[in-house]
Structures are given as C-alpha cells and as structure tokens.
Amino acid sequence: MPTGALAPLPRRLGPGGPESRSPEQHARLTADVVALTRVAPLAVVKVHQELLSPYTASVEVYRGQNGVGLAHAPTLTLNGAGDFTLTWPAYWTDEYDVQFPIRIRMARASACSSFAISAPRLPVVELVSGRAVRVRAFSHLGAAIAATTTVKVW
C-alpha cells in the first residue's frame, strides 16, 4: 500500500502492522481521544507561597491546555496568607489560531506541605467566575495560613 509521499492526505487505513493503521486501531484511537478530551483538565497550577508576611506568592509550575510554562500561566493576585486568586484570559488560542473561550466549571486544590499534622494546610477553591478561582488555605483550627498549593481546574 503506498503511503507517505505516494499517498498524501487524506490518510488511508490499511491492514495494520509496521506500515499502516487498521480500521480497528483507528476506531480505538478516536474513541479514546474523545474520552480523554471529555475529562482533561484545563490546567494544573502550582502556586508557591512564602510562609511569613508578606506571604509573597508566585506561580511555580503551569501546565495548561493552552501551553506549558509561566508564559501561559494565569494572573496571580495575592489576597493574604494562603489566599490568592488565579485569573485566566477570556480566551486561549490553539496552534491553529482557533480561539476558545475559557469557562472554568470545576476546581480542586491540594496543599504541598511537609508540616506536621498539627498544622495541616487545607485548601478550598471558590469558583469566582468562568475564568477565575480563589484559593484559600486553612489550618486545622480554621485560621488562614500560608501554603504552597496545587490547583487543578476543568
């Protein structure tokens, strides 16, 4: 079966094996890609926060559908100890210049802490808008407390 330059796109399915992709393999690929698309998070963000006043915070890691690295990260606004807001732009643009509106509907957060159980960091996430989430971390006594936090949004 000619492929590559002899049979350019649209790609042709074949018997599988070393030189082609079979209909059965293509079907599994498309079904699994759709499944992944449905549950893939928009972004995973790690925000580092200093433990002492003025509780300086910064985005340490950003992995988003819009890109990996700080250049693609949302705007970080510090509200206080263990309290910050992440705001994404209204749209992101993919590799083909197609724009997608950002609409965050769900969010999770976990504290990254080595502290003893006497001072756990328990983060909650408030869905502020379709493109902003506010994260607050608390001690086991319910007091606001600085924390490095990983946030995941869908």
Would you tell me which residues interact with other proteins (CB under 8 A)?
1-6, 8-9, 11, 16-36, 38-41, 105-110, 122-127, 134, 136, 138-143, 152, 154
Q: Least distance to other proteins from the beta carbon of 8, Å?
A: 3
In the block, tokens 């079966």 appear at: 1
User: What single-letter amino acid sits at 53?
Assistant: S
3-state SS assignment for residue 35? helix
Q: Least distance to other proteins from the beta carbon of 86, Å?
A: 14
Q: Which is nearer to other proteins, 51 or 143 (CB)?
A: 143
For residue 83, give the H/E element and its range.
strand 83-87
Closest CA to 78 of 49, 121, 110: 49
Q: Least distance to other proteins from the beta carbon of 152, Å?
A: 8
Q: Which is nearer to other proteins, 75 or 140 (CB)?
A: 140
Q: Which is nearer to other proteins, 30 or 93 (CB)?
A: 30
In the block, tokens 């606004």 appear at: 77
Residues whose CB is less than 8 angstroms from the CB of residue 96 and which lie 6 or more positions away in sequence, other chains included: none
Q: Least distance to other proteins from the beta carbon of 82, Å?
A: 10
Q: Which is nearer to other proteins, 105 or 118 (CB)?
A: 105
> Residue 98 and residue 142: Cα distance in Å, rounded?
44
